[in-house]
Amino acid sequence: MSRKILLLPGDGIGPEIVAEAVKVIEALKTRHGLDVETEEAPIGGAGYDAAGHPLPEATLAKAREADAVLLGAVGGPQYDKLPRELRPERGLLGIRKSMGLFANLRPALLYPELAEASTLKREVVEGLDIMIVRELTGGIYFGEPRGIREREDGQREGFNTLVYSESEIERIARVAFDTAMKRGKRLCSVDKANVLEVSELWREVVERVGLDYPEVELSHMYVDNAAMQLVRAPKQFDVMVTTNMFGDILSDAASMLTGSIGMLPSASLNADGQGMYEPIHGSAPDIAGRGVANPLATILSVSMLLRHSLGEAALADRVDAAVGQVLKQGLRTADLAAAGAPAVSTREMGDAVVAAL
Ligand code: NAD
Ligand code: IPM
Ligand code: MN
């Protein structure tokens, strides 16, 4: 029986970049024997427009049934005035939480051809290969209580709760150590243990899990220093593990080491091995509808989907190699092109990858 991929294009540039990823999937089907079926469903603003909710029930039901989910991006200024529970971002957070996708893998890998596209010096980024393991269903994003309330003095105050249980820390730490075992066997856990009790517990649990992985060299770093080290000397890192919000911020920063945020894919996995795949960037309202967005992060997310959810490592390698080849040919979307140099469109980039497959 052929396997099912659910496509969730979402908003802004989401549909444009997912369309290019679909071309890649179709080419793998017709030319390389990939046996999958795709179906599409609305999420985010598109979910709100179609069904009055950023995560329509039918969309979630299809996602649960699928072998893997490929998401574009959600959000846009036209939705920012909606009540918080109806905003596009809630759809994304909702599907992550409902499916238990607690482990978010965000690889920051520099394609050698893009060393000049990075805003950092070539020698700083050349050979870069970091894996950021971000906890995705806990922490301050989901902690209760949360809200905006009126105080006795008449002022309002906003509040959120940063909370992690031992079991939440332990399972993401295990994913990080397992990941490190398959790579360079170095793990850096990023926290704020000099200030936060949550981080104190985080560090303690990570240390404890580390006893099961004597071959992995474990270190700890405060998040402010980690942000600085990422731009000072990023190649010191192999695998990094951190909380939901720190991982969100550090992965955007790490993306620029690779040339553009348009290059970073991700995999979000649950305990049953189900996965959702998406670029780490957003819906880019500033460039949406112009056909200039970089589709490579989404195409590389297809590669992660093939590897982690479908067991198709050879096809994943093929996609990664095709991306390398188009970059070697000199093709650059606007985000990667040098100032004044010609750039290709979203569609031209997708077509070139398909041709190189
Ligand atoms: P963003 O990532 O959408 O854009 C930041 C900058 O990067 C913009 O200048 C944009 O043009 C550029 N960029 C992003 N992806 C690109 C690509 N593929 N090719 C070329 N350039 C690209 O972040 P933002 O502007 O802070 O957020 C915009 C909206 O997206 C918000 O509604 C936000 O909530 C949402 N968002 C969604 C996701 C997601 O769906 N996973 C992630 C981040 C932000
Ligand atoms: C991401 C995004 C999301 C996050 C938002 C849109 C909810 O920034 O996937 O990185 O913060 O997780
Ligand atoms: Mn983000």
ipTM score for this prediction: 0.99
Residues 146 and 214 in one domain: yes
Burial 72-104 (b: 16+ CB within 10 A, else e): bbbbbeebeeeeeeebbbbbbbbbbbebebbbb
Using DSSP's 3-state secondary structure scheme, residue 112 falls into helix
> Is residue 65 situated within a structural domain?
yes
Whole-structure pTM value: 0.98
Residues 161 and 250 in one domain: yes
Phi, psi of 231 (to 5 degrees): -95, -20
Residues 205 and 134 in one domain: yes
Q: What is the pLDDT along the chain (357 residues), one digit of tens a residue?
A: 799 999 999 999 999 999 999 999 999 999 999 999 999 999 999 999 999 999 999 999 999 999 999 999 999 999 999 999 999 999 999 999 999 999 999 999 999 999 999 999 999 999 999 999 999 999 999 999 999 999 999 999 999 999 999 999 999 999 999 999 999 999 999 999 999 999 999 999 999 999 999 999 999 999 999 999 999 999 999 999 999 999 999 999 999 999 999 999 999 999 998 999 999 999 999 999 999 999 999 999 999 999 999 999 999 999 999 999 999 999 999 999 988 899 999 999 999 999 999
Residue 299 CA to ligand 2 centre (angstroms): 19
Residues 132 and 196 in one domain: yes
Distance between CA atoms of residues 25 and 18, nearest Å: 10
> Is residue 129 situated within a structural domain?
yes
Give the pLDDT score at 339: 85
Question: pLDDT for 58-90, tens place per residue?
Answer: 999 999 999 999 999 999 999 999 999 999 999
Active site residue 67: no
> Is residue 113 situated within a structural domain?
no
Whether 93 lines ligand 2, by a CB cut-off of 6 Å, is yes
How many domains does the chain divide into? 2
Active site residue 213: no
CA-based end-to-end distance of the chain: 25
**Which residues form the domain of 206?**
118-258
* Structure tokens that stand for 283 in this block: 């819906």
> Is residue 279 situated within a structural domain?
yes
Phi, psi of 62 (to 5 degrees): -65, -35
Distance between CA atoms of residues 104 and 101, nearest Å: 7
Residues 6 and 96 in one domain: yes
Question: pLDDT for 7-55, tens place per residue?
Answer: 999 999 999 999 999 999 999 999 999 999 999 999 999 999 999 999 9
> Is residue 111 situated within a structural domain?
no
Of 206, 223, 258, the one marking the end of a domain is 258
Residues 150 and 253 in one domain: yes
Beta-ladder partners of 217:
186
Ligand in closest contact with the CA of 72: 1
Cis peptide bond upstream of 15, omega within 30:
no
Distance between CA atoms of residues 148 and 158, nearest Å: 4
> Is residue 222 situated within a structural domain?
yes
Residues 95 and 124 in one domain: no
Residues 140 and 249 in one domain: yes
Q: Which residue has the tokens 């031992």?
A: 166
* Structure tokens that stand for 268 in this block: 């979000």
Distance between CA atoms of residues 317 and 176, nearest Å: 22
Residues 133 and 17 in one domain: no
Distance between CA atoms of residues 224 and 60, nearest Å: 37
Per DSSP (E only), the strands in the chain are 3-10, 36-40, 68-73, 103-109, 129-135, 147-150, 156-159, 186-191, 217-222, 239-242, 267-269, 275-277
Question: pLDDT for 157-168, tens place per residue?
Answer: 999 999 999 999
Beta-ladder partners of 222:
191
CATH number at residue 325: 3.40.718.10
> Is residue 323 situated within a structural domain?
yes
8 Å CB contact between 124 and 193? no
Residues 63 and 138 in one domain: no
Residues 10 and 88 in one domain: yes
> Is residue 263 situated within a structural domain?
no
Catalytic residue among 192, 238, 277, 335, which?
A: 192
Residue 155 CA to ligand 3 centre (angstroms): 31
Sort 4 into a burial class: Cβ within 10 Å, 0-12 / 13-18 / 19+: middle
